[in-house]
Amino acid sequence: MTDVSSLEGNEKTTSRKASNLANNVNHNQSNNRNDITKSILVGSTSGFITSLLLQPLDRLKTLSQQHISNDKKRVKQYSVFQSCQKIYYDNGITGFWRGLTPTLIRVVPGVSIHFGLYQTTKLYIFNPQRGYEHFTIGFFSRSFAAIILHPTTIIKTRLESSVYGNQSMLNVGNAIIREYGIRGLWFGLTPTLLRDAPFSGLYLMFYRQQLAFVEKNDYNITPIIRLSCGILYISG
């Protein structure tokens, strides 16, 4: 009788342990999904806000780099001040945000993909600890996002310039395809990858190293600390 009771007790204990283990696994999986979702939402929000605030500078940069001339045989380049005047006279204050739609289509999903892939890799493939591991994740996640969203970069640049007048995003895309074929939407992809992918890899690597240094010295990692780590790498 004692052996039977002992066996039943062991079975109950084993059953409770198995149940607790299953609950822990489900809880961890739920937390992992929440972490990925949170990363995507945070990335999308930050991409939206920065695009909205910085689009006027993007428009100015495009016009300042663009060579414009009424006489095709001569080349004239606008200064930043002249570009501001031209934008305001041609389109009013809203002209500074021309090209915002393709910018949002490019940046918001791009940042979401970048952060989402990093978090997914960290949770399900391997947890990066060394600098080159952070570099690798940053490099390939940015490359993946850039390849998928490069057409929006092409359309955005055309809209920000004065070449296509006041045409819509769809009309600009159709014009590019008619002139160059579908491959025209991926013109300039190689230099974009050569610029963005290594930068993202280096940024993530040094950013994580600076955070590790902060943690090692027993500092609380606040949003200001995170912002400072990012700025220190860019300025350095």
What are the pLDDT digits (tens) for 132-159? Answer: 888 998 899 889 989 998 998 898 888 8
Greater confidence, 83 or 12?
83
Angle value at C-alpha 58, between 173 and 40, nearest 5 degrees: 80
User: Is 229 in contact with 207 (CB distance < 8 Å)?
Assistant: yes
Share of the chain above pLDDT 90, in %: 13
At residue 5 the predicted structure's pLDDT band, cuts being 50, 70 and 90, is low
Domains of the chain: 2-235 (1.50.40.10)
DSSP-derived secondary structure for 82-142: HHHHHHHHHH-GGGGGTTHHHHHHHHHHHHHHHHHHHHHIIIII----SHHHHHHHHHHHH
Give pTM, 2 decimals: 0.66
CA–CA separation, 53 and 97 (whole Å): 9
Q: Dihedral sign, CA of 89, 91, 97, 99?
A: negative
CA–CA separation, 32 and 177 (whole Å): 41
